[in-house]
């Protein structure tokens, strides 16, 4: 990847003809060849965007809808939409691509059979916007700068002034709502978004943010309806469909979740998140072997254990304890040659038993977790916590009431949800855990 001087433009494409045509068009507009960066790797493109404060970005949709969606989402989340003006190129005609571009405020798009004249025209406009910034863009770039320096309040004040002058500007409304959310002011964000939610030309992003406000209020059905509305406007947003699928999983609707993740895979077959979501859905429907067949195509042992863990957590939170513990036991069978993973599975299984009101089995799981990985201090810590919590001269279990269980779980819940995905697996293949002995000590599931 070339980078001889200050970067003015970044090009992401695997098509040599597009890359050459774009470079020629930039050169014709006075952009020096040494300030143009070309790459075929999305990770490299994202890293370069992180490093570059102000530049143009050319993206080829043919690289993969999931990859392009992720870059555009990342560009928005980093508050770089105005300082990284985008030109999107697509080989086939599809109005949904144009809708996606609109959602991310991409002004320059070329779809279908792209010729040199089209590229020259679009690049000319892109360079003009890059070199001659309009007053509104100047304000939005100042907002970007304030957000990047964590001065969200300053960004809010600027956007509120701009919103007063341009009350119908949904782009400003989006930025302002996101700033309110950054300050955890969900009420103001929702009130603002309501102004636009039922308008005929409502932006997809307005509905998306409104869904998050509804979700924050515990209104899953309202969130689902708003996300579906946003998806009708802009169907190729991978991030939004993943969110929608995860809500279905959370409210115990795995069939709807699987259909949503399948929708992602229909246009972004390489989406790892969608494959993980589909696998989780299948596990919750009891189709474990089908889930394993899909996971084996791409998942490492750590990722495999994380999916089992997520599915088991969801089942237990939905009070389907038998299903959750069976998923953990299946994970133990598959990953018996990975003691560190076994340790984490047993650990989370132990917390599941505590939620189930069976602290004796939970304690055994923590003890077996510590045996499988003596360096796992969370397990030894929880052994001490649980032993103290269950010590009582009374004949009845001190963790028998819901209030007592809640008090105990306060110290364990966070680890229950976060331990597994961050584990370092290592390469230990020889010290296989004797699964039969472990399960015999813990006792029958349920």
Angle formed by the axes of helices 435-442 and 321-334, to 10°? 160
What is the structure's pLDDT at 418?
A: 33
What is the structure's pLDDT at 384?
A: 87
Instruction: Report, as an integer, the average pLDDT of 299-306.
Output: 91
Instruction: Report, as an integer, the average pLDDT of 362-382.
Output: 91
Predicted TM-score (pTM) of the model is 0.82
What rounded mean pLDDT belongs to the chain?
86
Taking only the tens place, the pLDDT of each residue in 161-211 is 999 999 999 999 999 999 999 999 999 999 999 999 999 899 999 999 999
What is the structure's pLDDT at 209?
A: 97
Taking only the tens place, the pLDDT of each residue in 289-300 is 999 999 999 999
Taking only the tens place, the pLDDT of each residue in 317-345 is 899 999 999 999 999 999 989 999 999 99
Tokens (6 digits) for 415: 């680890």
Q: Tell me which of 75-79, 263-267, 329-333 is least confident.
A: 75-79
What is the structure's pLDDT at 354?
A: 85
Is residue 242 over pLDDT 60? Answer: yes
Instruction: Report, as an integer, the average pLDDT of 215-224.
Output: 96
Number of residues written out for the chain: 446
What is the structure's pLDDT at 442?
A: 57
Taking only the tens place, the pLDDT of each residue in 50-71 is 888 899 999 999 988 888 988 9
What is the structure's pLDDT at 114?
A: 83
Which value, in Å, is the radius of gyration of the alpha carbons in the chain?
26
314, 437 Cβ separation under 8 angstroms: no
For the ranges 73-77, 104-108, 424-428, 437-441, the maximum mean pLDDT occurs at 104-108
Taking only the tens place, the pLDDT of each residue in 244-258 is 999 999 999 999 999
Nearest of 444, 169, 145 to residue 177 by alpha carbon: 169
60, 18 Cβ separation under 8 angstroms: yes
Is residue 233 over pLDDT 50? Answer: yes
Is residue 391 over pLDDT 80? Answer: no
Helices (H), 33-115: 42-51, 65-77, 95-103
Band the pLDDT of 77: cuts 50, 70, 90. Answer: confident
Nearest of 97, 55, 93, 48 to residue 71 by alpha carbon: 48
Q: Find the helix or strand (DSSP H, E) in which 261 lies.
A: helix 254-267
Is residue 423 over pLDDT 70? Answer: no
Extract long-range pairs of 436-445: CB within 8 Å, 24+ residues apart.
438/332, 438/342, 438/346, 438/368, 439/329, 439/332, 441/364, 441/368, 442/361, 442/364, 442/365, 442/368, 443/361, 443/364, 445/322, 445/325, 445/326, 445/329
Going along the chain from its start, the domains and CATH numbers come out as 9-132 (3.40.50.2300), 136-236 (1.25.40.10), 300-442 (1.25.40.10)
- Give the SS3 label for residue 245: helix
63, 44 Cβ separation under 8 angstroms: no
What is the structure's pLDDT at 397?
A: 43
Taking only the tens place, the pLDDT of each residue in 24-47 is 999 999 999 999 999 999 999 999
Tokens (6 digits) for 365: 């799981």
What is the structure's pLDDT at 438?
A: 52
* Ramachandran sector of residue 64 (left: φ over 0; alpha: ψ -120 to 50; beta: rest): left
Burial category of 4 from C-beta neighbours within 10 Å (exposed 0-12, middle 13-18, buried 19 and up): exposed
335, 304 Cβ separation under 8 angstroms: yes
């Amino acid at each position: 990847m070339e980078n001889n001087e200050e970067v003015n433009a970044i090009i992401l494409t695997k098509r040599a003809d597009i890359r050459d045509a774009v470079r020629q068009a930039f050169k014709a507009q006075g952009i020096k060849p040494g300030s143009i960066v070309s790459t075929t790797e999305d990770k490299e493109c994202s890293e370069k965007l992180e490093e570059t404060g102000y530049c143009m970005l050319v993206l080829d949709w043919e690289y993969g809808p999931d990859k392009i969606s992720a870059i555009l989402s990342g560009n928005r989340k980093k508050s770089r939409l105005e300082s990284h003006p985008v030109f999107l190129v697509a080989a086939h005609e599809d109005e949904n691509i144009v809708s996606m571009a609109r959602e991310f405020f991409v002004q320059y798009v070329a779809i279908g059979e792209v010729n040199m004249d089209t590229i020259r025209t679009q690049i000319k406009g892109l360079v003009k916007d890059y070199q001659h910034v309009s007053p509104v863009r100047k304000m939005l770039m100042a907002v970007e700068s304030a957000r990047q320096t964590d001065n969200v309040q300053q960004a809010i004040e600027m956007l509120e002034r701009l919103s007063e002058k341009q009350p119908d500007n949904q782009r400003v409304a989006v930025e302002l709502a996101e700033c309110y959310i950054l300050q955890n002011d969900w009420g103001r964000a929702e009130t603002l978004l309501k102004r636009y939610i039922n308008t005929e030309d409502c932006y997809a992003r307005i509905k998306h943010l409104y869904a998050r406000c509804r979700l924050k209020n515990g209104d899953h059905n309202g969130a689902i309806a708003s996300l579906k509305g946003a998806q009708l406007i802009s169907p190729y947003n991978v991030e939004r469909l993943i969110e929608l699928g995860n809500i279905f999983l959370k409210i115990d609707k795995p069939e709807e979740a699987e259909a949503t993740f399948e929708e992602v895979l229909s246009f972004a077959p390489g989406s790892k998140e969608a494959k993980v979501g589909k696998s989780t859905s299948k596990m919750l429907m009891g189709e474990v072997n089908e889930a394993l067949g899909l996971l084996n195509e791409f998942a490492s042992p750590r990722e495999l254990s994380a999916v089992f863990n997520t599915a088991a957590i969801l089942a237990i939170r939905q009070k389907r304890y038998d299903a959750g513990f069976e998923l953990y036991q299946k994970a133990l069978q598959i990953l018996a040659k990975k003691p560190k993973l076994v340790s984490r599975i047993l650990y989370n299984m132990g917390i599941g038993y505590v939620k189930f009101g069976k602290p004796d089995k939970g304690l055994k799981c923590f003890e077996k977790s510590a045996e499988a990985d003596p360096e796992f201090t969370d397990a030894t810590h929880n052994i001490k916590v649980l032993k103290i919590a269950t010590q009582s001269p009374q004949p009845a279990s001190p963790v028998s009431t819901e209030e007592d269980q809640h008090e105990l779980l306060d110290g364990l819940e966070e680890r229950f949800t976060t331990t597994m995905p961050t584990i370092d697996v290592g390469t230990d293949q020889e010290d296989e855990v004797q699964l039969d002995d472990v399960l015999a000590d813990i006792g029958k599931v349920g």
